[in-house]
């Protein structure tokens, strides 16, 4: 069964299907905040079709979220590094460290993410790149 769709709706659908996951999340948040439209239960507002060729054709990831996952026994050192990385106040950095997991930087390049990870680990913390 084929459904007739207006060209303008096809364009909107094609634009949504082409969104990155980060953009899809931002769109979902916007629709909820501005229009009261919530994403369907079960995960996301937009389900992405697998890339042609499956996982073998997946592109290499170029942006990473740097997430602090622990601070070990040198919390003060980790707080100082988090403060420098995020530009947050000392109190906000302390709250981030104590509230792990905490995202330190979103959409960082591989080079930046690795640099931040090295700084945090040198201070005694643990980091995960997502």
User: pLDDT for 49-94, tens place per residue?
Assistant: 444 544 444 456 788 888 999 888 888 999 999 999 888 899 999 9
The pLDDT value given to residue 80: 92
Where do the DSSP E strands lie in 49-91?
63-70
Rounded to two decimals, what is the model's pTM? 0.52
Residue 110 burial (CB count, 10 A): 13
| Cα–Cα distance measured from residue 71 to residue 76, given in angstroms and rounded to the nearest whole number | 9
Which of 17-31, 43-57, 116-130 is predicted most confidently? 116-130
Share of the chain above pLDDT 70, in %: 81
**Domain-wise residue ranges, the chain:** 7-56, 63-129
| Cα–Cα distance measured from residue 67 to residue 113, given in angstroms and rounded to the nearest whole number | 10
Averaged pLDDT for residues 14-30: 80
Which CATH number does 63-129 carry? 3.30.1390.10
pLDDT-derived band at 42 (thresholds 50, 70, 90) equals very low
Helix, strand, coil shares of the chain, percent, nearest 5, are 50, 15, 35
The pLDDT value given to residue 57: 43
Largest CA distance in the chain: 63
Residue 122 reports pLDDT greater than 60: yes
The pLDDT value given to residue 44: 44
């Amino acid at each position: 069964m084929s459904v007739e769709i207006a060209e303008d709706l096809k364009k909107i659908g094609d634009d949504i299907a082409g969104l990155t996951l980060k953009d899809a999340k931002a769109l979902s948040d916007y629709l909820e905040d501005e229009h009261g439209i919530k994403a369907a239960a079960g995960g996301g507002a937009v389900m992405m079709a697998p890339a042609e060729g499956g996982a073998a054709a997946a592109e290499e990831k170029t942006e990473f979220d740097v997430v602090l996952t622990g601070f070990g026994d040198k919390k003060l050192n980790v707080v100082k590094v988090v403060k420098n990385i995020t530009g947050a106040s000392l109190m906000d950095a302390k709250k981030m460290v104590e509230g792990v997991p905490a995202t330190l930087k979103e959409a960082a390049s591989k080079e930046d993410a690795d640099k931040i990870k090295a700084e945090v680990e040198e201070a005694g913390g643990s980091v995960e790149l997502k």
